[in-house]
Amino acid sequence: MSTDAAGLGRVRASAFVAPALILIAVFLVFPALWVVLLGVTNYRLTGLAAADPEFVGLDNFVSALTDGRFLDSTWLTVQFVLGSAVIGQAILGFTLAKVLHGRVKRFVEGLVILAWILPSAVVSFLWIALLDRDSGTLNTLLGIPGFPWLLDHPMLSIIVFNTWRGTAFSMMLYGAALGNVPPSHLESARLAGANGWQQLRDVIFPHIRGHILTNLLLISLWTFNDFTPFLLTAGGPDGKSEILAVHVYKVALQGGELGYGAAVSTVILLINLVVAVFYLRLLREQR
Amino acid sequence: MAAIELRGLTKVYPGGVTALDSLDLVIPDGEFFALLGPSGCGKTTLLRTIAGLETATAGSIRIGDRDVTGLQPGARDVAMVFQDYALFPHMDVTDNIAYPLRIKKVARAVRAQKAREVGERLGLEKLMDRRPGQLSGGQQQRVALARVMATQAQAFLFDEPLSNLDARLRLEARTFLKKLQRELGVTTVFVTHDQAEALAMADRMAVMENGHIRQIGTPAEVFQRPANTFVASFIGSTPMNLLDGVVRGDTLEVAGCRVPVPETAAGRLADGEKIVYGVRPEYLSYAAEGPIAGKVVLVESLGASYLVTLEVGEDLVQVTVPEGREPELGEAGCAVPRPDRALVYRDGELV
Ligand SMILES: Nc1ncnc2c1ncn2[C@@H]1O[C@H](COP(=O)(O)OP(=O)(O)OP(=O)(O)O)[C@@H](O)[C@H]1O
Ligand SMILES: [Mg+2]
């Protein structure tokens, strides 16, 4: 069989691929490499080092990995991902997809999709209005005016916020996946006397395993790199909701330490890679 | 093992389709019972209602000495083979067979032992570690059967379990299934589209139409003496000849010919009555002289015999003729009914 089915020849074929490759190179590969490169310099936004950055080797990485603020931030990010993506979006999304039927389902779908497609700025403004300590809707509803949600429970606030924000995606994905579970398999389990949990374990989960892993992979990465919580809490109070994306912004752009920020970004990139490889391994494993 | 008893069973689907209409049926303990009928007549619905996968709108279901009408499927103690077999793709054959036992919290070793026994009985011993995706259709069907057997349920329900098999395998599976049911002696309800299958395997069968049972009987009864014209035209590989006629003394005037009143209806017809005269092509013989005279318009091969269509006045009459004696097209010929096999229907019902 010919490997050149379209008969284009190597040169013309390359010309077709080139625009896409160039775009990917300019907007993805080059910035990523640039970040890695910056990470080994003491480049700053302003001052002497801005004009003439010096090579500092792995210093930035060493100071990041020994910096309490970075480690705290990583731990907060893990909480944020587990709480809002894995437990929040995935479990809530699956439950909604499984439990809701008919008209109620379409109504809830409409609502959650709205949460998903609204711009971050609009959504965070809505949430600030909801959680505001003096005139917020929530405090009015609960009858506890003056309760500072964003100050007293910053992590809880952004976790609930991100769950609300992203559940639509998981719900839609699980809705589609559940439609593919053959009814006869469920019925066969019911005839054997399987209860609800046993049906989930023996029929539904094995059937939608691929969907679950893909879903977890995507929402973990999205949540890991999500910057929107900054609009709610600005990482505060006192760094209590400073997840990694916010941390980088603060040190690199507010603090001006571009080199150090780039090193932290590289670490984030590596964590993302590890997470992705972990899920893809699971996904490829023989069922 | 137990009898199944349905009283006034009705199923109306949301949306208003009446799939079962006040149906009464008793299937004695150990019987192999076939449900036959055209597509959409409610066979699957009946089976699923017995299993508890659909809730009955009215009426009652008894299995053995228990009223199971309100029970969950898992509590009814019945086992079902689905048309797609419904084997769990992520479990190997052993686990699939043992699944109902696992739900019943039978110890692992006992389960494995039981699965091996049943598997060996069905010739699956070399396949016990495979996944369903690595099995042929026929092997999957045997695994589904094995799963049902391992449960030791009170009754087996089969919904067209042979329809995914090729013609050859289907014949084998048919014989196999019949033998197995004999040996196990478990009450079995079997839905099929294929009447040859029902005739070959069932102890008794029911023919359904629009949620009603139109006839219950042994395959021989249903084949030889269909209770009404619906069953008569539905059963049989070649459709029964059904000819409009009128009673004239002790003969019938059918398609412009005179035929004697069949033995089955003798003495029960009034002069001048409108009737339908029914006789299967297999119970007609072709001859030069006979009561039903016509012209040969079509000769079709059925393999070892021929189906000859005669034009008799306005009507068409079909006759089977052994090979080697088939007539020429256009020839004038006659059909001779077997007097003990011809039937008379009045208002659609057998006289
Ligand atoms: N879930 C359902 N909701 C509404 N109507 C249904 C449903 N399932 C079946 N029906 C209707 O009930 C009637 C009986 O259906 P059923 O599936 O029992 O037929 P069947 O005899 O098994 O047909 P087939 O031989 O084609 O499998 C049909 O008219 C069908 O359209
Ligand atoms: Mg059916």
Judged by its nearest atom, the ligand closest to the C-alpha of residue A183 is 1
- CA A137 from centre of chain: 27
Q: Domains in chain B and their CATH numbers?
A: 4-228 (3.40.50.300), 238-350 (2.40.50.140)
Structural element, H or E, at residue B245: strand B241-248
Interface of A with B in 190-219 (CB under 8 A): 190-194, 198, 202-203, 206-207
- pLDDT band at B54, cuts 50/70/90? very high
The side-by-side arrangement of strands in the sheet containing B251-254 is B257-260, B251-254, B241-248, B274-279, B343-346, B349-350
Ligand 1 binding pocket (C-beta < 6 A) is B 13, 15, 17, 19, 37, 39-45, 193
* Token pair for A204: 């539904």
Chain A CB contacts of B83 under 8 Å are 184
Q: Tokens standing for B234?
A: 């539905």
How far is it, in rounded angstroms, from Cα A229 to Cα B51?
Answer: 53
Give the integer Cα–Cα distance in Å for B273 and A37.
105
Rounded to two decimals, what is the model's pTM?
A: 0.80
Half-sphere exposure in the Cβ direction for B147 (13 Å, CA): 33
Count of alpha carbons within 13 angstroms of residue A193, beta-carbon side: 14
Fold topology of A67-286: MetI-like fold (1.10.3720)
Indicate if the alpha-carbon torsion angle B149, A196, B139, B76 is positive or negative. Answer: positive
Q: What interface predicted TM-score (ipTM) does this complex get?
A: 0.80
Q: Which pLDDT band, with edges at 50, 70 and 90, does B1 fall under?
A: low
Answer whether residue A287 shows pLDDT above 60: no
Ligand 2 centre to CA of A41 (Å) is: 72
Beta bridge partners of B319: B308
Count of residues making up chain B: 351
Average pLDDT, chain A: 87
Q: Are B123 and B142 in contact (CB under 8 A)?
A: yes
Are the Cβ atoms of B88 and A184 closer than 8 angstroms? no
Best-predicted range by mean pLDDT (A145-159, B41-55, B248-262, B326-340): B41-55
Domain range summary for chain A, segments of one domain joined by +: 67-286
What DSSP letter does each residue of B33-101 carry, written as one string? EEEE-STTSSHHHHHHHHHTSS--SEEEEEETTEE-TTS-GGGS-EEEE-TTTT--TTS-HHHHHHHHH
Q: Which residues of A touch B72 (CB under 8 A)?
A: 190, 193
Residues in B touching A102 (Cβ below 8 Å): none
Angle between helices A258-284 and A30-38 (to 10 degrees): 130
Whether B69 has a pLDDT exceeding 60, the answer reads: yes
Listed residue (B285, B289, B335, B290) closest to B310, CA to CA: B335
Contact yes or no for B132/B87 (Cβ under 8 A) = yes
The answer to whether B73 contacts A287, with C-beta atoms less than 8 Å apart, is no
Give, as one character, the DSSP assignment of residue B304: S
Q: What is the pLDDT of residue A31?
A: 86
Is A157 in a helix, a strand, or coil? helix
Q: Which of helix, strand or coil describes residue A86?
A: helix
CA distances from A156 to A16, A121, A171, A232 (A): 49, 20, 22, 12
Which residue's alpha carbon is at the smallest distance from atom 22 of ligand 1? B44
Residues A163 and A92 sit within 8 Å (Cβ to Cβ): yes
Rounded mean pLDDT, B336-346: 89
Instruction: Look at residue A286 and tell me whether its pLDDT is greater than 80.
Output: no
Contact state of A194 with B88 under an 8 Å Cβ cutoff? no
Q: In what order do the strands lie in the sheet with B292-301?
A: B284-287, B332-337, B292-301, B305-312, B315-322
Interatomic CA distance for residues B228 and B240, integer angstroms: 12
Per-residue pLDDT of A248-262, as tens digits, reads 898 888 888 888 888
- In chain A, which residue's Cα lies nearest the Cα of B50? A191
CB contact (8 A) between residue B83 and residue A184: yes
B257-260 and B251-254: which strand pairing?
A: antiparallel
The identity of residue A130, as a single letter, is L
pLDDT tops 80 at residue B256? yes
Q: Taking residues B84-109, what's their average pLDDT?
A: 91
Q: Measured in whole angstroms, how far is the alpha carbon of residue B227 from the centre of its chain?
A: 15
Closest CA to ligand 1's atom 19: B40
Residue A4 has pLDDT above 70, yes or no: yes
Nearest CA to ligand 1 atom 26: B39
Question: Which tokens belong to A94?
Answer: 């699956």
Question: Residue A86 half-sphere exposure, CB side, CA atoms within 13 Å?
Answer: 13
Supply A201's token pair. 């374990």
What percentage of chain B exceeds 70 in pLDDT?
100
